């Protein structure tokens, strides 16, 4: 088990390395071939050739690509220094470089954005798992009834409606019309009430989308499981229907739900782009959009790496969880 985890962690590291290299090449090498120069992006409106050359020197943009990549990796692990003659800028580990636009370190911007996305994802996750699974179970047990049809219609709507539609409607109604929600996002440790208030609508909007998927998945799984032989066995033992469903059927229903949940959460932690944009939440998704708009290569690279890390870790957690949930799965 431990050996497996170590092996998997190593694989995650390798994966991240590949992602880093790919992103690095895309951002720092391809533009050069296309005749564009990252130094100009950093320089912004300055076009003084000497200043550009200074930037190029300081960021090491004229070094061979592999050297650049190596420096970047070194920066991630041990920090690095950007030097141009007497002009020295220290960047402590993990160093993702400096934002082209704000000339701020990338890492603090990431660490500021991560808790926002985490809050959003975690809260929405609780809502959609509870809501989606409950709706799915009830739908399955009352298949063909009005409740089932209504729930599945709502679920279909939930899956089909994009967040920038439901989100804007929710904003229009609850924020502008009813004025229930106001103000900017605040970290939970600073102002829990404001944190909760600003996240409530994003939670619900995001949860609606996912709850719909989970309701359909749960319903389908539950219907399949209720036809299993071991459910008949449970009934043949004389168990109450409540126990048959709660202990025997639900136990099996969790497996696919957990699998999907791990992957969804992983992807979501990389940035709930639409939700964060719609509700102006300063999370990773918002950071990604802003950095792309600003052609802020180091920031894009940082967000990409963090997102990749979350997805890799989520995959690993799902695989480990599988062994916990299903005793037939042997890890090693």
Among 267, 262, 304, 268, residue whose Cα is nearest residue 119: 268
| Tokens 């049809």 -> residue | 149
Rounding to the nearest 10 degrees, give the CA dihedral for residues 315, 316, 322, 324: -150
Residue 248 Cβ, how far from other proteins at the closest point, in Å?
A: 6
Q: Evaluate whether 212 touches 155 at the Cβ level (below 8 Å).
A: yes
Q: Whose Cβ is closer to other proteins: residue 35's or residue 238's?
A: 238
Residue 255 Cβ, how far from other proteins at the closest point, in Å?
A: 8
Residue 126 Cβ, how far from other proteins at the closest point, in Å?
A: 24
Tell me if 327 contacts other proteins by CB under 8 A: yes
Taking residues 303 to 322 in sequence order and writing x for each that binds other proteins by CB under 8 A, - otherwise, the string is: --------------------
Residue 214 Cβ, how far from other proteins at the closest point, in Å?
A: 20
The Cα 22–Cα 151 span in angstroms is: 44
* Binders in 203-242 for other proteins, by CB under 8 A: 223, 226-240
* Binders in 120-179 for other proteins, by CB under 8 A: 140-145, 148
The Cα 249–Cα 227 span in angstroms is: 10
The Cα 123–Cα 107 span in angstroms is: 25
Residue 232 Cβ, how far from other proteins at the closest point, in Å?
A: 6
How many residues bind other proteins, per CB under 8 A? Answer: 30
Rounding to the nearest 10 degrees, give the CA dihedral for residues 159, 268, 125, 324: 110
Tell me if 248 contacts other proteins by CB under 8 A: yes
| Tokens 């050069």 -> residue | 32
Instruction: List contacts with other proteins (CB under 8 A).
Output: 140-145, 148, 223, 226-240, 248, 251-252, 325-328
């Amino acid at each position: 088990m431990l050996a497996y985890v170590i092996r998997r962690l190593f694989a995650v590291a390798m994966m991240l390395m590949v992602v880093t290299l790919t992103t690095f090449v895309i951002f720092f090498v391809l533009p050069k071939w296309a005749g564009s120069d990252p130094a100009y992006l950093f320089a912004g409106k300055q076009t003084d050739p000497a200043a550009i050359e200074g930037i190029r020197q300081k960021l090491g943009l004229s070094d061979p690509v592999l050297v650049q990549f190596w420096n970047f990796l070194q920066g991630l692990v041990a920090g690095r220094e950007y030097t141009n003659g007497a002009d020295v800028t220290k960047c402590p580990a993990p160093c993702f470089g400096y934002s082209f636009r704000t000339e701020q370190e990338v890492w603090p911007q990431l660490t500021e954005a991560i808790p926002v996305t985490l809050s959003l994802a975690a809260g929405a996750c609780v809502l959609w798992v509870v809501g989606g699974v409950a709706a799915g179970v009830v739908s399955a047990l009352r298949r063909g009834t009005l409740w089932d049809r209504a729930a599945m219609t709502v679920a279909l709507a939930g899956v089909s409606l994009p967040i920038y539609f439901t989100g804007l409607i929710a904003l229009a109604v609850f924020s502008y019309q009813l004025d229930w929600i106001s103000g900017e996002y605040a970290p939970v440790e600073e102002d829990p009430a404001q944190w909760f208030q600003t996240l409530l609508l994003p939670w619900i909007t995001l949860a609606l989308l996912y709850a719909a998927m989970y309701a359909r998945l749960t319903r389908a799984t539950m219907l399949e499981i209720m036809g299993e032989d071991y459910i008949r066995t449970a009934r043949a033992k004389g168990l109450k229907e409540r126990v048959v469903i709660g202990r025997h059927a639900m136990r099996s229903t969790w497996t696919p739900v957990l699998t999907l949940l791990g992957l969804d959460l992983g992807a979501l932690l990389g940035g709930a782009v639409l939700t964060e944009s719609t509700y102006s939440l300063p999370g990773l998704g918002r950071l990604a959009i802003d950095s792309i708009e600003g052609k802020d290569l180091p920031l894009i690279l940082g967000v990409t790496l963090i997102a990749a890390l979350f997805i890799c870790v989520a995959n690993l957690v799902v695989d480990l969880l599988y062994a916990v949930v299903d005793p037939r799965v042997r890890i090693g």
